[in-house]
Amino acid sequence: MQHSIATVSLSGTLPEKLEAIAAAGFDGVEIFENDLLYFDGSPRDAKRICDDLGLKIMLFQPFRDFEGGRRDKLQHNLDRAERKFDLMQELGTDRILVCSSVQPDVIRDDALIADDFAKLAERAAKRDILVGYEALAWGRYVNSYRHVWDIVKAVDHPNLGIILDSFHTLSINDDLSTLAEIPGDKIVFLQLADAPLMAMDVMEWSRHFRCFPGQGEFDLASFLGPILKNGYKGPLSLEIFNDGFRAAPTRITAADGLRSLLYLEETTRKALESSNKAEDARVAETLFAPPPPVRYDGVEFLEFAVDDAAARRLASWFDKLGFAHTGTHKSKNVSLYSQGGVNLILNAEPDSFAHAFFVAHGPSLCAAAFRVDDSRAALERAKLYKSRSFESRVGPNERQIPAVRAPDGSLQYLVDPGEDGRTIYDSDFDPVETKSPQAALLTGIDHFALGLPAETLDTWILFFRAVYGFTTEHEWVLPDPYGLVKSRVVRSPDGAIRVPLNISENRNTAIARSVSTYRGSGLQHVAFATGDIFAAVAAAREAGLPLLEIPRNYYDDLAARFDLDPDFIERLAEANILYDRDPNGGELLHVYTEPFEERFFFEIIERHHGYEQYGAANVAVRLAAQAQSRARQQSRHAPWSD
Amino acid sequence: MQHSIATVSLSGTLPEKLEAIAAAGFDGVEIFENDLLYFDGSPRDAKRICDDLGLKIMLFQPFRDFEGGRRDKLQHNLDRAERKFDLMQELGTDRILVCSSVQPDVIRDDALIADDFAKLAERAAKRDILVGYEALAWGRYVNSYRHVWDIVKAVDHPNLGIILDSFHTLSINDDLSTLAEIPGDKIVFLQLADAPLMAMDVMEWSRHFRCFPGQGEFDLASFLGPILKNGYKGPLSLEIFNDGFRAAPTRITAADGLRSLLYLEETTRKALESSNKAEDARVAETLFAPPPPVRYDGVEFLEFAVDDAAARRLASWFDKLGFAHTGTHKSKNVSLYSQGGVNLILNAEPDSFAHAFFVAHGPSLCAAAFRVDDSRAALERAKLYKSRSFESRVGPNERQIPAVRAPDGSLQYLVDPGEDGRTIYDSDFDPVETKSPQAALLTGIDHFALGLPAETLDTWILFFRAVYGFTTEHEWVLPDPYGLVKSRVVRSPDGAIRVPLNISENRNTAIARSVSTYRGSGLQHVAFATGDIFAAVAAAREAGLPLLEIPRNYYDDLAARFDLDPDFIERLAEANILYDRDPNGGELLHVYTEPFEERFFFEIIERHHGYEQYGAANVAVRLAAQAQSRARQQSRHAPWSD
């Protein structure tokens, strides 16, 4: 299918927008009139830029408040349309969007409105222009695509058709069955937008919260499927009004837009294929078909960018967490630490990807590796979704591990079992003699959480959904003492990999500090799974790991909230372990370390009886305890000042 | 009256909050349970901090989901209450807030709920505790103060009363007439919050958008009046959930809170006095009574902090705008520029307030002077509203002009006519021989606009409303090519002084750049009034003033939007003058300069037929033209890079 986007969806000046749209790989563009209005060149100049960039101008929009107006204004409105037709000819486009009137005095008479459009279509015919009529969800009289379709049928003119917009239809929960009646060649254009479900005024919702397909919660496949089955052959076009997009880097937003249309094609294809009808299958064949998502079996390793000094300091924390130094890389300054199937890597190799990451961000997570059943298919899918891949420098007999660049430039390795039964550690690392093995208390990486600049969250969510086929959990809003934090978890379908993504709009929250420290996104914490948290805490304390102290008041309140054995509460309090219980009786016990150099911290986590969440009820006490810990440390070094 | 605030209203840790509350001058505090929960000291420690700060703990809150629960939970809930009573005794407070249940299975039976409260009140009586029952607007069964009052009356126990909250009452537009029935001694506590009027879910509205009285749109005086008339003698207490406050500097928010209560007292006093009833007048006497706002007759002068070099550069712009250098200060390195009653001052005096401002912010507006009819009364009012005043160093025979510090530390002088008919310029400046006087084309300061850090807008609005008695116009949301800008105008009641306050949440908008350039708030533009904009533009061009070029497309669209003479449109286009018309036929013609050193710009403005707005319809084209102008300048100096 062809892909298009409305210029209003992006930030910047018109030339900046057009360059980004071309760079992302779109075929064409809807010119939003205001972008042209504020452009300091002529419409012909705009057309020339598009021509040079290989972009087709697919639509000019919007033309407002045309139909059903006061009769003495009709001639003026038709003249106004002619002016826009002039402009369209300079732009070299033959399609115009007319949106339904929002004027309070619009005449509520379908025959009269049809007559207005008949006049307009006559004029359009003389100029070889196609007029598309679109229902705004807040149109004063005409506000549904079904009403528009009735009028278009009544006019029955080859130069008048309908324009469909997913937002205006899905936001009012409109009946989709009439879509099946509209022949594809009467659909002048098709606009697509997703949105989070919100209980608010529909115009405000539309103007500020639309997002790209796959970033919101609308069922767009059910909307698009019937349209394609009726033979619509025009472009899929994005029209997104979003406050975040207006402020985000233009090229990144445009690239997200193209990825979102591919994702929508794949989702729609799967929906069509699942019907098992031959006609649906024929339509499905025309849609984007990357290899399906692979199976994910967990986090294979996490890799930290360090220098030698940071490597020593971080290795000491790993040691206190019970990890053994199990390998040194055959050809690089890279060390492996392991315990119970959990692998952590410290990469201090100069002149490497990790070194560049260290220079830019300091000690930080530079890569995560996902265990997959088919790394080739996973990489192929990622590439078709326009991800950048990465090949590292390898020594002789070392394995080349396929990798994908995440939105922040960090790497995500795709590791499959390997055909010969040898692990990547066998190929690349020499074993190290270390302290005598002890029973591993940490048995897996339950999740690892990232702190992101607020405006990048939508990019990350679409990346995980499209590139990996991950799902998203609902958003949590969490109180930091200095603002609000929002958390959204992306996870592989069975939960083997879980990545909470955290953002904050406020400047002084822990997440905002993290973004500032890393100069971008970065690791917030790693949660290790354990089967015996009391033993894990005892061992960590014995080893001198600094655990976060939890205020006594928390435990007194726990006694009021849950019907727990007082002795058990005392054991929790003594070990600084937090507790949560879900409505189904699932239980969570978890403990936090102090932060490692104000960057990230570790969590040890024990789940019982199918507890699936992350202890959100305890995040506030953790954030407050961290803030108080930081305040104490600062007051040791410097007097309070503000 | 006594003043109190709930700890939940502020950001930070509990000790930080308490210190800020005491510093602002509150008498007491409501302890929000979560603040205690996360505090790393005991309740006794919290009491000790309050005692040391001279703060009384007036209330402990909230106790949730008590009434009408499952019968087998009642004993547990009563035990839970006893635990909180223990805690209250450690805190040394005797009042607890019980909010209405939000549990889906709450039993909808007033007699049973009354019985639950009778049991609770019995237990409270043994501990000398007063229980206050408050309706949450989203309570599952009990959700209005009138329903609570019915139950409190039915229980009829000295240890049970009602807690009133303005948000929960006004947000649901509840009938206020029942307030008159509630005796003051049955009101255990009174919580006050304002809010902007919003069409959204009431719980979301409450949790994120409450604000201090005078910052929102509720009619709080109508709520507070009847309560005071019934003899309520307890504190006025603020309970504000607000995302901005959670992130704002604690001390500034606390100071705003106290100012807001004083403002509410004044507003309520005026409402009571206007009834002309003796009983109302008696209550009014107990309320805060500063001198009423004075009369404002316009902006007397604007003063810029500069050094000698910046003074020369800015003076050259003033010259091109038609200002004459009319005075040099008798004792300071300060110059006066004037035309048609408009006065601009350049202050390059070392070791002065202006110099400190220049060092901190660069060339910037450091003071504005307001013409008033009584500067003493104005200053007295400002001081009673906790504003800081300022006295400058004056030379012999120079006039000391009273001044108030604005929220950003800049000065606002209050200038009255002076008894002897001499102006401040006569006293303080030596006249300068300048170019021969020409007819002044600029005749006044129509408005001057500030760019503010987003989180400070509420502080500024309350400042102008309370300290000066200014009114506010409704909010404009304006599209910058790189994000959204919000604009709120504060003005003296008759419009003689108007100050648009502009903020942006996004990082790359013109306003965000301004905030970043100034490192805080700063002048965005000054709009000069003229009676002949074509002549003013011609003179400015002749003098070489750089005017902002407006794209031709804007004028083509103007022809489609308005029924204007084509020749007139050509004249506008030739002069880069923008045009707007309001629904009543009021007309605006205005023109912008290029920015002065990426800091501020000037506007020349001609209003006709009662046009009262600011040309918001043209802001988008102005912002786009400025962005394109900046892009052109950058591309002259450096290649595009991103």
For residue range A91-129, list pLDDT tens digits in order: 999 999 999 999 999 999 999 999 999 999 999 999 999
| Interface contact B37-A631, CB threshold 8 A | no
Helix axes B619-637, B510-518, angle to 10 degrees: 60
Separation between Cα atoms, residue A118 and residue A121, nearest integer Å: 5
Strand partners, B579: B589
Same domain, A220 and A73: yes
Q: Which amino acid is at B477?
A: V
Pair of tokens at residue B176: 């206020």
Res A438: pLDDT: 67
Instruction: Please give, rounded to a whole number of angstroms, the shortest distance from the CA of B482 to a CA of chain A.
Output: 5
> For residue A638, what pLDDT band results from cuts at 50, 70 and 90?
very low
Chain B contact present for A638, CB below 8 A: no
Q: Which residue of B has its CA nearest to A248?
A: B482
- pLDDT over 90 (residue B267): yes
| Interface contact B13-A624, CB threshold 8 A | yes
Window 266-295 of B: residues touching A by CB (8 A cutoff) are none
Q: Nearest by CB to B40, which of A42, A551, A559?
A: A551
Interface test with B, best of A33, A40, A208 (most B CBs within 10 A): A40
Same domain, A330 and A390: yes
Window 210-229 of B: residues touching A by CB (8 A cutoff) are none
Average pLDDT over chain B reads 93
Beta strand segments in A281-440, E: 296-305, 324-329, 334-339, 342-347, 364-372, 389-390, 403-405, 411-415, 429-431
| Contact yes or no for B288/B512 (Cβ under 8 A) | no
Give one DSSP letter per residue of B411-441, joined into a string: EEEEE---TTS--HHHHHEEE---SPP---S
- Find the mean pLDDT for residues B559-573: 92
- pLDDT over 90 (residue A144): yes
Res B627: pLDDT: 85
Q: Which of B431, B462, B484 is the last residue of a domain?
A: B431
- pLDDT over 60 (residue B442): yes
- Find the mean pLDDT for residues B579-599: 95
β-pairing, B296-305 with B342-347? parallel
Look up residue A370 and give its DSSP letter: E
Contact partners, residue B468, CB within 8 Å, separation at least 6: B293, B296, B370, B378, B382, B492
Q: Look at A76-80, A359-363, B47-51, B422-426 and tell me which has the smallest mean pLDDT.
A: B422-426
- pLDDT over 60 (residue B292): yes
Same domain, A612 and A530: yes
Same domain, A398 and A480: no
Strand partners, B491: B471, B498
Window 566-625 of B: residues touching A by CB (8 A cutoff) are 620-621, 624-625
% of chain B surpassing 90 pLDDT: 78
Q: Look at A308-322, B137-151, B379-393 and tell me which has the smallest mean pLDDT.
A: B379-393
Separation between Cα atoms, residue A319 and residue A36, nearest integer Å: 61
Nearest Cα residue to A429 out of A312, A519, A337, A493? A337
Q: Look at A281-290, A458-467, B347-356, B629-638 and tell me which has the smallest mean pLDDT.
A: B629-638
Chain A contact present for B73, CB below 8 A: no
| In-domain check, residue B9 | yes
Q: Is B590 known to sit in a ligand binding site?
A: no
Separation between Cα atoms, residue A24 and residue A397, nearest integer Å: 38
| Interface contact A621-B42, CB threshold 8 A | no
Contact partners, residue B172, CB within 8 Å, separation at least 6: B137, B143, B144, B202
Chain B contact present for A631, CB below 8 A: yes
A-B C-beta contacts closer than 8 Å: 144
- Find the mean pLDDT for residues B456-465: 95
Q: Which residue of A has its CA nearest to B623?
A: A38
| In-domain check, residue B642 | no
| In-domain check, residue B641 | no
Res A205: pLDDT: 87
- Find the mean pLDDT for residues A577-598: 95
Identify the domain containing residue B459 by its residue range: 442-634
Separation between Cα atoms, residue B481 and residue B491, nearest integer Å: 28
Chain A contact present for B640, CB below 8 A: no
Nearest Cα residue to B287 out of B227, B345, B364, B243? B227
Q: Which of B431, B452, B474 is the last residue of a domain?
A: B431
- Find the mean pLDDT for residues B273-290: 94
| Interface contact B560-A631, CB threshold 8 A | no
Residues of A in contact with B557 (CB under 8 A): 33, 37
- Find the mean pLDDT for residues B174-195: 96
Separation between Cα atoms, residue B529 and residue B417, nearest integer Å: 22
Strand partners, B132: B97, B161
Look up residue A211 and give its DSSP letter: B
Residues of B in contact with A252 (CB under 8 A): none
Contact partners, residue A198, CB within 8 Å, separation at least 6: A205, A209
| Interface contact A484-B628, CB threshold 8 A | no
Same domain, A399 and A500: no
Residues of A in contact with B247 (CB under 8 A): 482-484, 505-509
| In-domain check, residue A437 | no
Q: Is B525 known to sit in a ligand binding site?
A: yes
Chain B contact present for A42, CB below 8 A: yes
Same domain, A265 and A374: no
> For residue A632, what pLDDT band results from cuts at 50, 70 and 90?
confident
Same domain, B421 and B489: no
Q: Which residue of B has its CA nearest to A625?
A: B38
Q: Look at A532-536, A632-636, B389-393 and tell me which has the smallest mean pLDDT.
A: A632-636
Same domain, A424 and A341: yes
Same domain, B418 and B543: no
Strand partners, A527: A447, A603
Pair of tokens at residue A579: 């507790």
| Interface contact B483-A627, CB threshold 8 A | no
| Interface contact B246-A642, CB threshold 8 A | no
| In-domain check, residue A436 | no
Contact partners, residue A261, CB within 8 Å, separation at least 6: A1, A3, A192, A213, A236, A238
Window 189-208 of B: residues touching A by CB (8 A cutoff) are 199-201
- Find the mean pLDDT for residues B576-598: 95
Residues of A in contact with B642 (CB under 8 A): 249, 251
The CATH number covering residue A559 comes to 3.10.180.10
Residues of A marked as binding for a divalent metal cation?
134, 165, 191, 239
Residues of A in contact with B563 (CB under 8 A): 76
- pLDDT over 80 (residue A639): no
Residues of B in contact with A556 (CB under 8 A): 83, 87
Separation between Cα atoms, residue B226 and residue A88, nearest integer Å: 64
| Interface contact A37-B508, CB threshold 8 A | no
| In-domain check, residue B639 | no
The CATH number covering residue B11 comes to 3.20.20.150
Separation between Cα atoms, residue A82 and residue A92, nearest integer Å: 15
Q: Is B612 known to sit in a ligand binding site?
A: no
| Interface contact B243-A505, CB threshold 8 A | yes
- pLDDT over 70 (residue A637): no
| Interface contact B38-A506, CB threshold 8 A | no
Res A641: pLDDT: 35
Q: Nearest by CB to A621, which of B38, B246, B247?
A: B38
Same domain, A395 and A249: no
Tally the domains of chain B.
Answer: 3
Separation between Cα atoms, residue A199 and residue A173, nearest integer Å: 13
Residues of A marked as binding?
134, 165, 191, 239, 447, 525, 603
Q: Give residue B265's Cα distance to chain centre.
A: 17
Same domain, B417 and B493: no
| Contact yes or no for A360/A403 (Cβ under 8 A) | no
For residue range B483-542, list pLDDT tens digits in order: 889 999 999 999 999 999 999 988 888 898 899 899 999 999 999 999 999 999 999 999
Separation between Cα atoms, residue A105 and residue A107, nearest integer Å: 6
Other CB atoms within 10 Å distance of the CB of residue A289: 14
| In-domain check, residue A248 | yes
Mean pLDDT: which of A36-40, A530-534, B385-389, B560-564 is highest?
A: A530-534
For residue range B110-162, list pLDDT tens digits in order: 999 999 999 999 999 999 999 999 999 999 999 999 999 999 999 999 999 99
ipTM of the complex model: 0.73
Res B537: pLDDT: 97
Q: Which of B431, B457, B489 is the last residue of a domain?
A: B431
| In-domain check, residue B169 | yes
Res B642: pLDDT: 35
Q: Which residue of A has its CA nearest to B205?
A: A200
| Interface contact B551-A39, CB threshold 8 A | yes
Chain A contact present for B400, CB below 8 A: no
> For residue B641, what pLDDT band results from cuts at 50, 70 and 90?
very low
Residues of B in contact with A243 (CB under 8 A): 483-484, 505-506
β-pairing, B28-32 with B3-6? parallel
Residues of A in contact with B506 (CB under 8 A): 243, 246-247
- pLDDT over 50 (residue A162): yes
Chain B contact present for A560, CB below 8 A: yes
Q: Nearest by CB to B199, which of A201, A243, A624?
A: A201
For residue range A420-430, list pLDDT tens digits in order: 777 888 888 99
Residues of A in contact with B511 (CB under 8 A): none
- pLDDT over 50 (residue A640): no
For residue range A218-241, list pLDDT tens digits in order: 999 999 999 999 999 999 999 998
> For residue B437, what pLDDT band results from cuts at 50, 70 and 90?
low
- Find the mean pLDDT for residues B455-483: 92
Residues of A in contact with B556 (CB under 8 A): 83, 87
Burial class from Cβ neighbours inside 10 Å (0-12, 13-18, 19+) for residue A414 reads buried
| Contact yes or no for B485/B478 (Cβ under 8 A) | yes
Residues of B in contact with A563 (CB under 8 A): 76
Same domain, A316 and A279: no
> For residue B423, what pLDDT band results from cuts at 50, 70 and 90?
confident
Separation between Cα atoms, residue A184 and residue A180, nearest integer Å: 10
Residues of A in contact with B33 (CB under 8 A): 557
> For residue A455, what pLDDT band results from cuts at 50, 70 and 90?
confident
β-pairing, A56-63 with A95-99? parallel
Res B389: pLDDT: 86
> For residue B639, what pLDDT band results from cuts at 50, 70 and 90?
very low
Burial class from Cβ neighbours inside 10 Å (0-12, 13-18, 19+) for residue B439 reads exposed
Window 453-482 of A: residues touching B by CB (8 A cutoff) are 479-482
Res A560: pLDDT: 81
Phi and psi at residue A35, to the nearest 5°: -65, -35
Chain B contact present for A243, CB below 8 A: yes
Chain B contact present for A484, CB below 8 A: yes
Interface test with A, best of B482, B516, B558, B640 (most A CBs within 10 A): B482
Nearest Cα residue to B295 out of B496, B136, B587? B496
Q: Nearest by CB to A508, which of B247, B479, B631?
A: B247
Res B266: pLDDT: 97
